[in-house]
Amino acid sequence: MEVGWVKIYTSADFFKSELVRQVLIDHEIEAIIINKQGFPYRIGEVEVYINEDDFQKALEIIVKNEL
């Protein structure tokens, strides 16, 4: 992971993390997913990362949308 990226969201549900990522992108915040779930049982976490400069704005969007 490059410097300047911070984790904003973590879930065991891939689709929930993807929803958060897409909402952030819709608000013009660059977001990426790192899937740490193991194969074949999908046990583990899926993390959403954003640029640290967008942290406060992203947090407000997540809270406002109850994600």
pLDDT tens profile 7-65: 999 999 999 999 999 999 999 999 999 999 988 888 899 999 999 999 999 999 999 99
Residue 37, both tokens: 């779930």
Domains annotated for the chain, with CATH where assigned, are 5-64 (3.30.70.1530)
How much is the pLDDT for 1? 62
| 67 vs 65, higher pLDDT | 65
pTM of the full structure: 0.89
Handedness of CA 47, 49, 52, 54 (dihedral sign): negative
| Residue 17, phi then psi, degrees to nearest 5 | -65, -40
How much is the pLDDT for 41? 83
